[in-house]
Amino acid sequence: MENHKTPFSLCLDTKDVVIVKPSKPTPSEILSLSTIDNDPNINILCQTIYVYKANHDLTNDQKDPACVIKEALSKALVYYYPLAGKITTLDDGKLGINCNGDGVPFLESNANCELSSLHYLEGIDVPTAQKLVFDNPSQDQTSPHPLVFKVTKFLCGGFTIGMGLSHSVCDGFGASKFYRALVELASGKNEPSLKPVWERERLIGKSYLKEEETFKFLIDKTSLATSPFLPTKEISHECFNLNGDTIKMLKMKLMKESGDDNNVMKESFTTLETLGAYVWRSKVRALKLNKDGKTMFCLAIGVRKVLDPPLHEGYYGNAFVASNVVLKVKELNEKPLFEVVKLIKESKKLALNNEYIRNSINMLETMRKGKIKIEGTGASLVLTDWRQLGLLQEVDFGWKSSVNIVPVPWNMFGFVDLCLFLPPSNLNPSMKGGVRIFVSLPKDSMAKFKEEMEFLKVMKVDEDI
């Protein structure tokens, strides 16, 4: 994300905060969140920026984007009324939503430049990106707003939408459903094509009765690998572009290496599995984790359709579990990479049955009761895949679809354990079928990670990796 240095300081002329309320009366009630929603690791505001080019086909009397979005937001909040409330802590210590129709804080800014001078945010540096979002403005931090907005208009007629959404209330799929509803209403529809449902009671876990006996971590903390670069306050955030050809080459190479062994499986390697294995190993090498320590690959797996019965399509809460692979650093470094890919493939299958999902939710409930929070140590890679969310398609409300989507770094697992796979922006045709890999690492270890990523781009099929 720091590939381009902004050539000048972005200056914004920002108006006062406006509170956008639902356009019609909404239920006044307290709603409980699910066990997954209550995971303390995701109790953060996730900030994402959507980038729109100017639409010169529009007539001059077209409303400005801030007005269009504000109006659409007011209508969307009738359906997604919990997002107009406040996050609160209930008597049992769990999080809930006080649906009081308080409304959503909304900021409007004017920038001193054209979007093209910021490369449409491709490779934007973090301090500049942070200017385009609205940090949670609640004075009372015990009951923050679950949703905040900032619209920034540029001299060219293009604009950005900075959306901050509580991860405790929505996961990526939930956020994309809400955003799509917003866009539909902005484009003139009377109601969203998909109505939201709450149903958080479907994903409530039970704590183990004797947690000190039954509860076990996947990895004993004392056996976790450690990095000489951690702890540190100097974190670098970068986004790496890998095109479709590079990914294809890596897959072919690993399939070839797996030879007959793979015929038994009669399955190919997916982009997620292949790149996941490569990025995990690259990260471990960049952090110089100690060889005898253990490292974990942790993939967020969506369970909306896997549950029996499946969750309603309009469910917008968190609905994922982790599938995990644990290896010693030495093993990860020395094993052929195709074997690591197969371990990831197997762990994904394991996560797709109801017993595993229920056990995972029960474990989260036990951890919540025991006030156990997993800290970021660098020993784990927590991977989230945004490529299936459809956030760069089908979201046209008069300005054609967004050309880019940029996550502002989230302080989840201390930044360093989290990795996002993003769809390529719509700016570079050669990236079709490619992936953007967003990582946060200690500043001093980033050069080695870059080296690993660069090697992938020049690798030959018959070369060792």
* Catalytic residue (one of 102, 125, 396, 444): 396
Q: How far apart are CA 434 and CA 422, in angstroms?
A: 9
Q: Which own/partner contact pairs does 173-177 have at CB distance under 8 Å and 24+ positions apart?
A: 173/302, 173/304, 173/316, 173/319, 173/389, 174/315, 174/316, 174/317, 174/318, 174/319, 175/46, 175/48, 175/316, 175/389, 176/389, 176/390, 176/391, 177/314, 177/316
- List the one residue out of 97, 96, 95, 72 whose CA is nearest residue 84: 97
Rounded to 5 degrees, φ, ψ at 10 are -70, 120
* Catalytic residue (one of 37, 145, 167, 237): 167
Burial (CB < 10 A; 0-12, 13-18, 19+), residue 205, is: buried
> Is 167 annotated in the active site?
yes
Angle subtended by helix axes 446-458 and 271-286, to nearest 10: 140
Q: How far apart are CA 332 and CA 329, in angstroms?
A: 5
Q: How far apart are CA 181 and CA 69, in angstroms?
A: 11
> Is 396 annotated in the active site?
yes
What lies within 8 Å, CB to CB, of 437 at 6+ separation is 239, 240, 242, 275, 279, 419, 420, 421, 422, 453
Please list, residue by residue across 145-183, b when 16 or more beta carbons sit within 10 angstroms of its beta carbon and e when fewer do: bbbbbbbbbbeebbbbbbbbbbbbbbbbbbbbbbbbbbb
**Catalytic residue list:** 167, 396
